[in-house]
Each structure stands twice: as C-alpha cells, then as structure tokens.
Amino acid sequence: MPVILGIDPGSRVTGFGIISGSGSKYQYLTSGCIRLSGETLGERLRQIHEGVSQLIAEYQPEEFAIEQVFLGKNADSAIKLGQARGVAILAAAQNDLPVYEYAARSVKQAVTGQGGAEKELVQQMVQMTFKLPGRPQADAADALAIALCHGQTNKQLLEKAGAKTTRRGRIR
C-alpha cells in the first residue's frame, strides 16, 4: 500500500499527515505540526525543509501531496505561504517523490462533501475516517485531509484511465 505524505504549509505552523492505503481503505500512520520558531523567515523556512526531510527519511512515503497557494487579501501572506510550500516541495524533490498539488476547496470537497466546509468539520471528518481518539489539531487535520484527497483522486484517475489495481493497491 502506498504511503502518502500530506503537507499543509504555513510560515508559522506547517501541518503534516501520513497515511497508507489505496482504494477506499486508508490507515493513519502519524500526523502533527512543525512549529516554527526564529526571528527571520529564512530560519523558519530552514526548519520546514529539515522537518519535512526528516519525515520523508523516517516514513519513506511514495507520494507527496501539498495544498496549493490561494490568493487571499494579504499578498505578503500569500508570498510567505508560497515560500513555505517551495521548501517543502524541495524536500520532496530531493528525495525523488512525485509532488501533487490540491486546492483547499477540492480537499474539503473530497473529505467532507462540501467545498466550503469549516475547519471544524474537516477535523471531525478526519477523526471519523481514521477512527482517531480525539480531533487532530487543525493544521494536522488539514494535512491528513490533503493526503486523503490525493489518495481518492489518484484512485479515480486510475479508474478513468482503465487501470486495474491488485489487492495490494498496485497497478496492473
């Protein structure tokens, strides 16, 4: 079963979620947040890169999914978010992982059935999907939702292409 690393990038907190599985069966492996400290953006970006690289080394994911940048009202925040995404993607690229990007609306739609769902609903659905004892922190829940969205989207694309999968989730 492929291992998927989902990342919810941020310049102060970067959420991560790691799952394995395929089709409609996914297993929770771990999740959490890379809490960034430091006075400069450069220090925080280094921490994101090191944190994501460490997760890749420890869990050996086969696929990497990350949230796309959305342009809000604050251009400065969007630029910092883009930089956080960039160093996370760099960590994936340095480890030869394929990178998949998903819009926040698509992630929410895949997990909750509503593209405009509130964070609390995403947390609740992630908790229910993976049968977690409590609600994960919002950034970790978002990262798990991104990983789950990738798994579901990948399955749908394979089915549309006519690919068949084995019981272990491999394409034949």
Contact 20, 3 (CB under 8 A): yes
76 catalytic per annotation:
no
Strands 99-102 and 63-67, by their bridges, are parallel
Fill in the amino acid letter for 140. Answer: A
Separation in Å, CA 92 to CA 6, 32, 47: 11, 18, 14
Residue 155 has a pLDDT of 54
Output the tens digit of pLDDT for each of the chain's 172 residues: 799 999 999 989 999 999 999 777 899 999 999 999 988 999 999 999 999 999 999 999 999 999 998 766 788 888 999 999 999 999 999 999 999 999 999 999 999 999 899 999 999 999 999 999 999 999 999 999 999 999 998 754 444 445 454 444 444 4
Q: Token pair of 130, please?
A: 């993976």
Residue 170 has a pLDDT of 45
Q: Which of 43, 58, 62, 67 is catalytic?
A: 67
96 catalytic per annotation:
no
Residue 77 has a pLDDT of 85
Residue 71 has a pLDDT of 67
159 catalytic per annotation:
no
Residue 171 has a pLDDT of 45
Average pLDDT of every residue of the chain:
89
Residue 24 has a pLDDT of 76
Q: Which of 43, 118, 139, 142 is catalytic?
A: 139
3-state secondary structure of 118: coil
* Alpha-carbon gap, residue 148 to 107, rounded angstroms: 8
In sequence order, what E strands does 9-74 have? Answer: 13-22, 25-35, 63-67
Residue 168 has a pLDDT of 41
Residue 169 has a pLDDT of 47
pLDDT tens-digit map of 78-90? 899 999 999 999 9
Q: Which of 8, 58, 101, 120 is catalytic?
A: 8
* Alpha-carbon gap, residue 46 to 80, rounded angstroms: 13
Q: What is the CATH number of domain 3-160?
A: 3.30.420.10
pLDDT tens-digit map of 98-124? 999 999 999 999 999 998 999 999 999
